[in-house]
């Protein structure tokens, strides 16, 4: 049986050829979605009873990176949409049956930013709001949305009570022409919105409780589901970003291999360019090693009965954001000496560069808060809002 990553490699040419069409469409093309569905990558984190693999997170990360090498937008969707089954596996069994009972390949989008308000009513909430960045939403039949519990007037309660609300496609609107961006155009990360949609209690979970691991007992004895949601989600984002950097390195190599400059210098014999290329290749490889090895060690620790402290959770986040920054900075240095031909839209270089910049704007790739939290804990201090970081 072909593994997800083997299927992706076998369809690498198709993913590459569809990448520009994804950008132009502002969403993944049908052909790209079919490759991802057929590969089974979106089922890697799903529970076995619904056709999932309950795979080791390293396998998921490697596969997301592989997709991103060939199609940055598809790799990003793989990371974001592919991690949602991890959380759904710890939600109410009734919800799992609704999502996967008839079709194990149903996709669920997000975002988690608490831009909605859920007003409590009998057995649930009336939910209202509009959310940007619903990655892969056109190919998804459900969405997980962040929201705050409100009072009878629809005003958020204080202190905030954040929950994740899970909504079927029939209950929300995708806002077309809301995804006009410089990079990752093909992810189709459009806005979604709704007004006074009833969400039953069993389709919601507490955000802080999910982050803390309070729902782990719904998958007893399974190491995968004891890794903490922010760690798993951030690793997915880091992996999608790393895959783009690896693809950018490859398209640069393809660009240079036969290049002769205007002054008749053979690019692959230019010692300065080769120096920067080797340095970039080493940095990208080192970042990949950090991301995968950290997750392997963390998984082994939890599998051996360990429970992650906040310090350990923040440290793996610190290493993750540093790894992707190292990769992106390496490619930036390389592309700055690529020559004027590389800026043309007929070359993939400029598209990969734009996609990398867009990827680094995601909160899971932003270094400052993570570095500050990691250093604060390392020196014996306390972070003020730990759920923002881990």
Read off the pLDDT of residues 12-40 as tens digits, 9 standing for 90 and up.
999 999 999 999 999 999 999 999 999 99
SS3 103: coil
pLDDT score for 344 = 81
What class, spelled out in words, does domain 4-100 have in CATH? mainly alpha
Q: How far apart are alpha carbons 55 and 48 in whole angstroms? A: 10
The number of beta carbons lying within 10 Å of the beta carbon of residue 293 is 12
pTM of this prediction exceeds 0.85: yes
Range 227-388 has CATH code 1.20.140.10: yes
pLDDT score for 269 = 80
Average pLDDT over residues 33-55: 98
Read off the pLDDT of residues 335-387 as tens digits, 9 standing for 90 and up.
888 777 778 887 788 999 999 999 999 999 999 999 999 999 999 999 887 66
Domain spans in the chain, listed from the N-terminal domain onward: 4-100, 108-206, 227-388
Instruction: Find out whether 44 and 36 touch, Cβ atoms under 8 Å.
Output: no
pLDDT score for 297 = 97
Residue 352, token pair as written in the block? 């990969």
pLDDT score for 299 = 97
How many helices and strands in the chain, by DSSP H and E? 12, 8
Strands 173-175 and 162-168 turn out to be unpaired
pLDDT score for 273 = 86
CA neighbor of 320 nearest in space, from 373, 281, 258, 276: 373
pLDDT of 118 above 80: yes
pLDDT score for 356 = 97
pLDDT score for 302 = 97
Average pLDDT over residues 131-155: 96
CA geometry: angle at 224 spanning 101 and 52, to 5°?
Answer: 30
What class, spelled out in words, does domain 108-206 have in CATH? mainly beta
Instruction: Find out whether 83 and 45 touch, Cβ atoms under 8 Å.
Output: yes
- Average confidence score pLDDT of the chain: 94
pLDDT of 262 above 80: no
Residue 299, token pair as written in the block? 């998984």
pLDDT score for 263 = 65
**Neighbouring-strand partners of residue 326:** none
Average pLDDT over residues 156-179: 97
Name the one residue in this structure whose structure tokens are 């560069």: 353
Average pLDDT over residues 270-287: 94
Average pLDDT over residues 95-104: 98
φ, ψ dihedrals at 132, nearest 5°: -85, 170
Instruction: Find out whether 329 and 357 touch, Cβ atoms under 8 Å.
Output: no
CA neighbor of 233 nearest in space, from 129, 139, 99, 135: 135
The backbone region for 54, taken as left when phi is positive above 0, alpha when psi lies in -120 to 50, beta otherwise, is: left
pLDDT of 62 above 90: yes
User: In terms of residues, how long is the chain?
Assistant: 390
CA neighbor of 34 nearest in space, from 56, 15, 13: 15
SS3 332: helix
Q: How far apart are alpha carbons 343 and 271 in whole angstroms? A: 22
| Cβ within 8 Å of residue 123, ≥6 positions away | 200, 201
SS3 350: helix
Confidence of residue 179 (pLDDT cuts 50, 70, 90): very high
Q: How far apart are alpha carbons 372 and 226 in whole angstroms? A: 25
């Amino acid at each position: 049986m072909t593994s997800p990553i083997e299927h992706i490699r076998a369809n690498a040419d198709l993913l590459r050829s569809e990448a520009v069409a994804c950008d132009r469409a502002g969403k993944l093309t049908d052909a790209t979605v079919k490759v991802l569905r057929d590969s089974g990558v979106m089922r890697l984190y799903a529970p076995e009873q619904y056709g999932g693999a309950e795979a080791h997170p390293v396998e998921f990360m490697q596969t997301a990176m592989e997709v991103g090498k060939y199609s940055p937008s598809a790799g990003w969707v793989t990371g974001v949409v592919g991690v949602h089954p991890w959380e759904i596996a710890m939600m109410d069994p009734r919800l799992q049956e609704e999502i996967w009972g008839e079709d194990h390949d149903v996709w669920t989008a997000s975002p988690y930013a608490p831009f909605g308000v859920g007003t409590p009513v009998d057995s649930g909430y009336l939910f209202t709001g509009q959310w940007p960045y619903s990655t892969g939403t056109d190919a998804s039949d459900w969405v997980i949305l962040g929201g705050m519990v409100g009072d009878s007037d629809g005003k958020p309660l204080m202190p905030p009570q954040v929950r994740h609300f899970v909504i079927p496609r029939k209950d929300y609107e995708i806002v077309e022409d809301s995804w006009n961006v410089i990079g990752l155009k093909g992810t189709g990360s459009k806005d979604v919105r709704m007004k006074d949609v009833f969400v039953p209690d069993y389709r919601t979970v507490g955000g802080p409780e999910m982050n803390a691991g309070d729902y782990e007992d719904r998958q007893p004895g399974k190491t995968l589901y004891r890794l903490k949601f922010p760690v798993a989600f951030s690793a997915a984002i880091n992996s999608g970003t790393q895959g783009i950097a690896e693809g950018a390195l490859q398209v640069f190599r393809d660009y240079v291999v036969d290049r002769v400059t205007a002054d008749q210098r053979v690019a692959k014999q230019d010692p300065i360019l080769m120096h920067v290329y080797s340095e970039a290749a080493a940095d990208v490889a080192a970042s990949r090693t950090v991301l995968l090895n950290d997750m392997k060690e963390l998984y082994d620790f939890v599998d051996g009965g360990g429970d992650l402290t906040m310090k350990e959770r923040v440290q793996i986040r610190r290493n993750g954001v540093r790894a992707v920054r190292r990769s992106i900075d390496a490619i930036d240095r390389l592309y700055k000496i690529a020559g004027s031909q590389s800026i043309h839209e007929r070359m993939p270089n400029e598209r990969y560069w734009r996609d990398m910049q867009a990827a680094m704007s995601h909160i899971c790739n932003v270094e400052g808060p993570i570095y500050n939290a990691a250093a604060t804990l390392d020196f014996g201090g306390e972070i003020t809002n730990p759920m923002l970081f881990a």
